[in-house]
Amino acid sequence: MPSTSRTVPFVTVDVFTDTRFAGNPLAVITDARDLSDTDMQRIAAEFGYSETTFIRPPQDPENTAEVRIFTPVTEVPFAGHPNVGTAFVLASQGQLFGKPVEDHIRFEEKAGLVEVSVLRGPDGKVSETTIRAPGPLAIGATLSPEIIAPCLGLATKDIETRRHKPVFASVGLKFILVEVADLEALARAASRLDPLTALRQAHADEDCDCATFLYTWVGADHLRARMFAPFDNVAEDPATGSASAALGAFLTTLRPAPETRHLLVEQGVEMGRRSLIRLAVATRNGLFDYVEISGSSVLMTRGELLL
């Protein structure tokens, strides 16, 4: 049996749900001070979740923590459910590196500072966390239905283009946003690696792993969505806050919007892990200003990694 030189604490949570075994699983390494980049990548691959977060003391003591986010294959600058879930974990434990964790949290991340607010119930327990996406809206190339449909195992007619064509967009992490015709088309979709590889090569200048966020409207402010990211070793993601935020921001460019529009994104239904992502998309003088991402989380496990 190999000897163990150190232990590293972790917590896992289900994010964008208040029900265990639903939502999007997340592993949070609550003390990553002694971990190298290689250690973090290996741990993220071991958990195999869409993302794992690693907590370090902040570089600026005015902030709460530095947060590193890894998929099973790479580090990413920002992601939604890792921030929502990590804030839930730290606010619930109440202390971090010997300091109290307040209900206003600031994370230092590759994409910039991420502001988080914590909502507590009458019992004092964390009921919801809300993050503000750190980046401005960045819109890239548009794609034709004929190009994107084969990447999703769909027919051209399944791609809805009356409001917009499929498009690269980001508020911190880039996705391809694709509106599909209806729930039936959404259910049939499946990522196809060969055409997606060709698409990625053709649009290498987008610097995007071609994670694809599909959605359809089921109400005036209610969407159903799915997300495929095969190049990140994520066949399908049950909840993608950063993609939802990019979509909410992008929608403000399509028609006049109120100063704040509230959207509900339902995801993970086809996987049996229903998630609910709440967005508040703010505009100023008719232009996108910022987007906030809110959701609940529930604790699943606590333990130690033996390294």
Q: Using the 8-state DSSP alphabet, how is residue 159 labeled? A: B
Sort 172 into a burial class: Cβ within 10 Å, 0-12 / 13-18 / 19+: buried
**Upper half-sphere CA count for residue 102 (Cβ side, 13 Å):** 9
Residue type, 15: V
Q: Which of 46, 51, 109, 259 is catalytic?
A: 51
| CA 64/CA 58 separation, integer angstroms | 6
Active-site residue 128, yes or no?
no
Name the region of 299 (left: φ>0; alpha: ψ -120 to 50; beta: rest).
beta
| CA 50/CA 194 separation, integer angstroms | 22
Beta strand pairing call for 7-15 and 104-109? unpaired
| Secondary structure of residue 34 in the 3-state scheme | coil
Phi, psi for 207 (deg, rounded to 5): 50, 55
Which residues are within 8 A (CB) of 305 and not within 5 positions of it... i.e. 6 or more apart?
7, 8, 9, 10, 29, 43
- Return the active site residues: 51
